[in-house]
Amino acid sequence: MKLSQSSMNESSLVDAELTGIDHQKESNVLIMKACLSTGGTCQIIFEEVGWWELCSFGVKNILCSIDAYDDRSLTEVVILDQDIDEAYIRLVRQGHHELFVLSASVGLSGWIIAANMRVDLQPKSDSVAISDH
C-alpha cells in the first residue's frame, strides 16, 4: 500500500495517537495500535517485516505521516536522512519490500521495511458502560 500525505488524510491516520506496538515473530508481522482523531481505533499492520528502527515511543505519540517508498521512488536523500544500512536497502531494491517512514508531531518516529502495509479500521464504539454502583 502506497501512502501519501493525502491518502493519510483520507484514512484518518493524521493525528492518530499510537498506543501500542506488537511484534508477532511467528508470522513476521508488526502491528501498531492507534486511536483516531475521529474517535475510532485502528491497527496499522506491516507484513513480511524485513527490519525496523523506531525511537522515542513515549507517553504520547501523535502520527504526522507515513511515507512509503518502493525501488522506483527511494532516493539517496531518503536513505541518508533515515541513516539506513545498505543491507536493509537491498530488500527494497530487490522489489519485494517497501520502506515506510513514520514521522510524528510528538513521540515515535522511525522506519520499517516490509512487503506490505494495511490499515484495519475499527469504528467508534457507541456502547455505554453501566456501573453496578
pLDDT of residue 127: 52
Q: What is the largest CA-CA distance in the chain?
A: 61
Is position 70 within any domain? yes
E strand intervals along 8-97: 17-24, 29-35, 41-55, 62-69
Is position 26 within any domain? yes
pTM, two decimal places: 0.84
Classify residue 101 by burial, with Cβ atoms within 10 Å: 0-12, 13-18, 19+.
Answer: middle
Hey, which residues does 47 pair with through a beta bridge? Answer: 29, 116
Total domain count, the chain: 1
Is position 66 within any domain? yes
Is position 133 within any domain? no
The pairing of strands 17-24 and 29-35 is antiparallel
DSSP string computed for 93-122 = HTTS-EEEEEEEEES-EEEEEEEEEEEEEE
Q: What is the pLDDT of residues 67-120, one digit of tens each?
A: 999 999 999 999 999 999 999 999 999 999 999 999 999 999 999 999 999 999
Is position 44 within any domain? yes
Task: Tell me the residue range of the domain where 13 lies.
Answer: 5-122
Does 121 or 126 have the greater pLDDT score? 121
pLDDT of residue 2: 42
Is position 84 within any domain? yes
Mean pLDDT throughout 40-58?
A: 95
